[in-house]
A and B are shown apart, each in its own frame.
Chain A
Amino acid sequence: MIVYGVALLSACLILGMLLGEALGVALNVEANVGGVGIAMLFLVLASNSDRFKSLVEGASGAGIQFWSAMYIPIVVAMAARQNVVAAFEGGMLAVVAGVAAVIVSFALVPVISKIGSSKVSTGEKQ
């Protein structure tokens, strides 16, 4: 049943959101801390485990795959509802701060990826 997969996906998201919200309260932060990330971990664990096999295979799996495939259309809709006008009305300071932050962060991607991978490879040698 397709709805079983959809229900599993929903359960993962709600559980993750609850934990993220609780984490936010515990850390005294006005935000959901990693709720979506935690939900994704749940779904990865469920889809790699034997116990949930009936919920992730066949038609049930198709229910999850459908939403995974709807991801790009949803992102396009998300782009279409951004406050682009406000972004440009913030003036030069906002533009400079935003652009500079992105450029520096882009430049750090290869640096930190390398740190991670060298650590992993030395770990494997030991």
Chain B
Amino acid sequence: MEILETVFVRNSLVVAFAVIGITIWLSYFLADRLTQGRIHGSAIAIALGLVAAYFGGRATGGSTGVADITLLGGIGLMGGGMMRDFAIVATAFGVKLSELKKAGMAGVISIFAGVVVSFTVGAVVAVLYGYTDPVAVTTIGAGAVTYIVGPVTGSALGAESDIVALSVAAGLIKSILVMIGTPMVAKSIGLDNPRSAMVFGGLMGTTSGVAAGLAATNPKLVPYGAMTATFYTGVGCLLGPSILFFIVNAVL
């Protein structure tokens, strides 16, 4: 057991490659056999990842899912921000400049619309749950934008830590739901071309959610959605503690 742990910990990233490889093989096998290819293998793999993260978090009490299990620590590195961004940028290889230009304006509109709409929905829900303090309502609304915008806004406005935790939770729910829900609704919202993918990325904004949701829908659309999504959190952090807070403050 000690030998196993030594080897696994010392080679954590290599272990992660093997474990993720097996997971993906299993997912594609299940997609093929159980759903006759109706559900994409990568959608199953991502769902398995989330389920594993839940049990990992329950078992260890940590905040990074499976990566808190000593033997699987490398998954934290493999799925961390650095590798994610590196691979996302690589997906832009082969993207046509003309497609980007065509969707440019709609993409920009979608980022601002996405931030404002998610914020409004989150803030309204907070009010319906009885919150009247503008700082709390703004922080929860910002959490519905993304789980990064929530705490950034909350700390800028001096929100209580339980409100910040609530905003992070709202953002996490959003991100997970986008990961799982995107392949299911893709057809009915017309998510089948670069333009709608860019609009989708701008509206959803959660980079992890968009990245995984599009990967499970059609990997060719990933670079378009990811490109707009990466501006979203920045715009959210810009608007949250400023204009959006002023509006909430004026309304309440």
Interface residues of A (CB under 8 A from B): 9-10, 12-13, 16-17, 20, 23-24, 27, 29-37, 39-41, 43-45, 47-48, 56, 61, 64-68, 70-91, 93-102, 104-110, 112-113, 115-117, 119-120
- With A80-B56, A83-B57 as known contacts, state yes or no: A119 contacts B122, CB within 8 Å: no
Contact status A76-B53, CB under 8 Å? no
B138 at the interface (CB under 8 A from A): no
Q: Mark B221-236, 1 if CB is under 8 A from A, else 0.
A: 0110011111101110
- Residues of B bordering A, CB below 8 Å: 16-17, 20-21, 23-24, 42, 45-50, 52-54, 56-58, 63-67, 75-76, 78-80, 83-97, 100, 102-103, 105-107, 109-110, 113-114, 117-118, 121-122, 125-126, 129, 140, 143-145, 148-149, 152, 156, 165-166, 168-179, 181, 185, 189-191, 195-196, 199-200, 202-204, 207-208, 211-212, 215, 219, 222-223, 226-231, 233-235, 237-238
Residue of A nearest to B114 (CB): A105
- Taken together as a complex, chains A and B put the C-alpha atoms of A104 and B123 apart, in Å, by 14
- Whether B208 lies near A76 (C-beta < 8 A) is no
Query: With the chains together, A25 CA to B233 CA distance in Å?
Result: 14
B173's contact among A47, A99, A119, by CB below 8 Å, is which? A99
Cβ contacts A to B, 12 pairs, < 8 Å: A13-B89, A37-B231, A40-B226, A41-B92, A74-B83, A74-B84, A75-B79, A75-B211, A81-B80, A88-B173, A93-B125, A110-B196
Of B92, B148, B171, the contact of A31 (CB 8 Å cutoff): B148
Partner of B93, one of A64, A74, A99: A64
- Judge whether B105 and A97 touch: CB under 8 Å: no
Number of A-B contacts (CB under 8 A): 341
| Contacting residues, chain A, for B54 (C-beta < 8 A) | 84-85, 88
In the complex, the answer to whether A36 meets B88 with C-beta atoms within 8 Å is: yes
Alpha-carbon gap, A91 to B235, bound state (A): 27
A residues less than 8 Å from B75 (CB atoms): 77, 80-81
Contacts of B228 in A (CB 8 A): 37
User: Do A86 and B169 contact each other (CB < 8 Å), given the known contacts A65-B93, A102-B204?
Assistant: yes
For residue A100, which residue of chain B has the nearest CB?
A: B121
Chain B residues with Cβ under 8 A from A31's Cβ?
148-149, 152, 233-234, 237
Describe B's contact surface by its main secondary structure: helix
Q: Which one of B94, B189, B199 contacts A116 once the chains associate, using CB atoms below 8 Å?
A: B199
Closest 7 CB pairs of A and B: A116-B106, A90-B169, A98-B173, A77-B79, A33-B234, A79-B49, A87-B172
A27 to B52, CA, bound (A): 39
Counting chain A CB atoms within 10 Å of each CB, which of B94, B100, B126 scores highest? B94
Task: Report chain B residues within 8 Å CB of A84.
Answer: 50, 53-54, 57, 65, 172, 176
Q: State whether B234 touches A23 (Cβ < 8 A).
A: yes
Taking each of A32, A90, A104, A113, which has the highest tally of chain B beta carbons within 10 Å of its own beta carbon?
Answer: A113
State A119–B93 Cα separation when bound (angstroms).
28
Chain A residues within 8 Å of B103, by CB: 116
Given known pairs A89-B169, A101-B118, the reply for A71 and B222 (CB within 8 Å) is yes
Complex interface: chain B residues within 8 A of A75 (CB)? 42, 46, 79, 84, 87, 208, 211-212, 215
Q: Cα distance A96–B170 when bound, in Å?
A: 8
Neighbouring A residues of B178 by C-beta, 8 Å: 102
